[in-house]
Structure 1
Amino acid sequence: MSSTSTPDDDLQDPISYFLQDLVYHGKTERTRDAYERALRDFEDFLRDPDRNPTGTTTVAADATHRHCMAWVHGLRGRVASSTVATYAAYLHRFYAYMTQVGVFDANPMTLVMEEMDEQIDTDPTRRELSVPEMRGFVGDIRHPLDRAIVVTLLKTGMRVGELCNLDLRDLRLTDSPVSETYELGGRAQLDGKPDSLYVSSDPARGAVTNDEERTASNKRKRSTVIPVDEELKWTLERWLSVRPDAISPADPLFLGVSDHWGRRLTTKSARRIVTRHAKDAGWHRAGGDASENVTPHYFRHFFTTHLRDRTGDRGIVKYLRGDVAGDIIDTYTHNWGDRVRETYEEHIYSLL
């Protein structure tokens, strides 16, 4: 891999170049500092011939996937497993961006991330809940908004930020009474796809999407269309039947109904709702870690584990999660009406 020739002196330090662009993208100082810690650690690794696999000093522009794998491997035991995944994601985004803008020729982290995806959510110490247990948990949730949040997360595997960024235009419900009240499914990507949700990769914290500045980012690699089964459809219809008017031109799908009445639901509020119900179920305690507490991210783990085991098809699960690389995701997008929807509807677990 080699860097593209440029007179820009800033590209003598590609990490600084990338961090500066993060400012333009609205990333907070805290986020930029986290990126810099990871990227500078990788840079130090490349400079040390006693640590990197080639035994010579190199730079980020010339690093290969073997350099990246060796660095990630070296992180294990030095930092927490969750930090390993975070640092790997930071390095992947660094290379993906620098490749996209033409500074680097390729992204050596692509193969590394594909390998890590195969191992995603397989932590043997994490609390394991059965479908019947989760069904009982959902059954105890009576509030329409709370149940809609939990069922949407469990049925789609999306992140909490992605849930909060959903607008009415991202939801298509066929032959639904709520369609007489709301203009649903305005996305062109939903044409010909009945009862489905569109999860975009575009929204970013601090950026304007659909005429509204967003407070959370969507982290999926590619936009995804996710089927809405009968249980999720009924749950969303129940919520929409009592949803207040939105104080936003974007018409968010999920709105606050207490302190932030009519405003887009925040990730903080969504997490608080899940935590409250998890505490009631004995699945969350103060001071507990990710292996013990049930959180919105736990629902993503639950979705991945149970749907993967039921389908035996990692590709479709990775597509639904938004984790798949472009060439694979294009295949599933083309076959959405056949393979994806049919496989999903056949194997998705019942929660109601």
Structure 2
Amino acid sequence: MSDADAAGSDGPDSPEDPVGYFVQDMEFHGKSPRTRREYRRVLDRFASFLRTDAPGGQVAPGDASHRDCMAFVHSLRGDPAIGDSTVAAYASYLHRFYAYMTQVGAFDANPMTLVMEELDERIDPDPTRREISVARMAAFVAGITHPLERALVVTLLKTGMRVGELCNLDLRDLALSRAVAAYDLGGRAQLDGRPDSLYVPPEPSMGERYNGEERTASNKRKRATVIPVDDELERVLLRWLAVRPDAVSPADPLFVGTASGWGERLTPAQVQRVVRERAREAGWHETGAGAAENVTPHYFRHFFTTHLRDRTGERGVVKYLRGDVADDIIDTYTHNWGDNVRETYEESVYRLLE
């Protein structure tokens, strides 16, 4: 018997089977079979959890509380077969499920809204993390000679974006004031009048098609963000573009493989491997050590947050660049992008290249 059947389903057309109802609507909206299977698997696991392990006793998905959802996420973290990025992806699946069911009137509220806010990375640095000075980080960057690897690391350090957001960048998301032969950069309308910038959208989702390509990672921004590209980041990106292989995907990813996956969009696992290997060479990564010791792509986001916030004193600008702010705040920075973001960023961002 399936989880949906055990829940007393009256069929996928009935809200009595909310998971089936949602998955069928995904089909109506044109989602791929692979995406529907992945959502079904995660949501069935959630429904099973609510029947057997919910804090307040057995409960249906439509009656689950914020605490029930938080307990489910906690149970995922306790599964050794599930990594942190997968936990975040499963939480986003559950959030979309509740958002849709609330929108169509099948559920009264979305208990995942508060959960997702609590899961968001906090702006305050973790005091137990390894602390690396700007000078030591610059020396680390100097030791990276491969154009792709240096571009990956410097982009993460200069923008504070998540590794999935890095992998989802396309050429159209990068605007440079310097023309680059054979490349059509900055095709986004959002980059008009904003040269030397990166556009990071919120929409790409793992397993779904975006700009003509199925994505292997999700962006987690609350709203789209335009991030300045300073002269150092421009330098490493130009060096990378000079040797970048032709992309396999019609989406024209910014970062593609130069080894076995020649021309294919890089995945978060590949970027994590690059960072892990370089960090291990620097003595900043040890197998079995935790986040407090190891330098990972996420550590670069922590580095960006800590050092840029300390230099600017502008918590709001840093939150905007990270993509963490709500609609009213982000609208303020969007409308005053030149004054409130670029100028503050360029005056304060740390130097990494000699």
**TM-score scaled to structure 1, two decimals?**
0.79
Aligned in 2, Cα 1:228/1:41: closer, same or farther, shift over 3 Å? Answer: same
Separation (CA, whole Å) in 1 of partners of 2:285 and 2:135 = 18
Match of 1:27 in 2: 35
Aligned in 2, Cα 1:119/1:167: closer, same or farther, shift over 3 Å? Answer: closer
Separation (CA, whole Å) in 2 of partners of 1:308 and 1:208 = 35
Higher deviation after alignment, 234-243 or 9-18 = 9-18
The answer to whether the Cα contact below 8 Å between 1:47 and 1:58 also exists between their aligned partners in 2 is no
The answer to whether the Cα contact below 8 Å between 2:94 and 2:112 also exists between their aligned partners in 1 is yes
Shift of 1:231: 0.9
Separation (CA, whole Å) in 2 of partners of 1:237 and 1:171 = 11
Kindly tell me the number of residue pairs found equivalent between the two proteins: 334
Equivalent of 2:155 in 152, 155, 162: 152
- Confirm whether residue 334 of structure 1 aligns to residue 335 of structure 2: yes
Match of 1:53 in 2: none
The answer to whether the Cα contact below 8 Å between 1:19 and 1:36 also exists between their aligned partners in 2 is no
Superposed counterparts of 1:120-159, under 5 Å = 122-159=125-162
Separation (CA, whole Å) in 1 of partners of 2:334 and 2:316 = 12
- Confirm whether residue 10 of structure 1 aligns to residue 10 of structure 2: no
Equivalent of 2:98 in 85, 95, 99: 95
In structure 2, the residue corresponding to 1:286 is in which secondary structure?
coil
Aligned in 2, Cα 1:70/1:342: closer, same or farther, shift over 3 Å? Answer: farther
Separation (CA, whole Å) in 2 of partners of 1:278 and 1:173 = 30
* Seq. identity, %: 62
Shift of 1:147: 0.4
State the AA in 2 paired with 1:133. Answer: R
Taking only aligned residues, the RMSD between alpha carbons, in angstroms, comes to 3.5
Aligned in 2, Cα 1:207/1:312: closer, same or farther, shift over 3 Å? Answer: same
Shift of 1:113: 4.4
The answer to whether the Cα contact below 8 Å between 2:69 and 2:112 also exists between their aligned partners in 1 is no
Higher deviation after alignment, 243-252 or 274-283 = 243-252
Aligned in 2, Cα 1:291/1:15: closer, same or farther, shift over 3 Å? Answer: farther
- Confirm whether residue 188 of structure 1 aligns to residue 157 of structure 2: no
Deviations 1:194-215 (A, max 9, x none): 1101112222233332223333
Match of 2:317 in 1: 316
**TM-score scaled to structure 2, two decimals?**
0.79
Shift of 1:30: 6.2
State the AA in 2 paired with 1:129. Answer: I
The answer to whether the Cα contact below 8 Å between 1:205 and 1:215 also exists between their aligned partners in 2 is yes
Deviations 1:182-238 (A, max 9, x none): 111011111111110111222223333222333333232322211111111111111
Gaps of 5+ in 1: 1-6, 50-56
Gaps of 5+ in 2: 1-10
Shift of 1:140: 0.8
The answer to whether the Cα contact below 8 Å between 2:50 and 2:59 also exists between their aligned partners in 1 is no
Aligned in 2, Cα 1:335/1:35: closer, same or farther, shift over 3 Å? Answer: farther
